[in-house]
Structure 1
Amino acid sequence: MSRQSFTPERAPAAAGPYSHAVRIGPFIHTAGQVGVDPETRQPHEGVEAQTRQALENVRAALMAAGASMGDVLRVGVYLTRVEDFAAMNAVYRQFFEAPYPARSTVYVGLNPGLLVEIDALAVMEP
């Protein structure tokens, strides 16, 4: 199977040697998406706004590859502050329906101004 790379129309250029989304067969994996507005290239204020934008960026990457949020099997969430978990979770629930994807949430260091990064693995029916 060949590997295909996808970039959403309004996405900022990749900051390194990676793709926004990659598809091999029915599997699509997104790169980590952060709460940076695709037009201004600036991070939003607060974890809620950054979570919403990160998930919109995940959605755009999936759509570029022909998938949707309903195809997501697993999500990785990376937060810089433990105290932001509840706020992130409240926004996250607006993007997924039961049965929810599997998810891991870990606390990490991100670039200054970034509070959350999210990636996803989706599986499409052939």
Structure 2
Amino acid sequence: MKKIIRTDKAPLPVGPYNQAVVINGLVFTAGQIAIDPATNQLLPGDVEAQTRLVMENLRALLNAAGASLERVIKTT
């Protein structure tokens, strides 16, 4: 069974797709860029700050799906 995941703690998709989907207990997230969910604007700054924001956005999506970064099997 497929479950669509949406949260305001991560940025809205920039295209016609979902933030994340759960299928058979696995969470699939959309690709992420450093968009601040509070402003929906790309975060200016260095790659470290942008990477931290991307990871926080992924954490928010996983938490909304009932998962966590600690349970990630693979990223691409």
TM over 0.5: yes
Q: Give the match for residue 3 of structure 2.
A: 4
Alignment of 1:20-99 (within 5 A): 20-44=19-43, 45-76=45-76
- Paired letter, 2:75: V
What is the root-mean-square deviation of aligned Cα atoms in Å?
Answer: 1.2
Higher strand share: 1
Percent identity of equivalent pairs: 44
1:37 and 1:16 map into 2 onto residues whose CA distance is 16
- Paired letter, 2:23: I
| TM-score using structure 2 length | 0.87
Q: Which runs of 5+ in 1 are unaligned?
A: 77-126
After TM superposition, give the deviation of residue 10 of structure 1 in Å.
Answer: 2.7
Q: Deviations over 1:49-88 (max 9, x none)?
A: 1100001101111111110001100112xxxxxxxxxxxx
Q: Which runs of 5+ in 2 are unaligned?
A: none
Preserved contact between residue 10 and residue 58 of structure 2 (Cα < 8 Å): no
| TM-score using structure 1 length | 0.55
The number of aligned residues is 75
Preserved contact between residue 34 and residue 57 of structure 1 (Cα < 8 Å): no
1:47 and 1:13 map into 2 onto residues whose CA distance is 21
Please say which structure displays the higher CA radius of gyration. Answer: 1
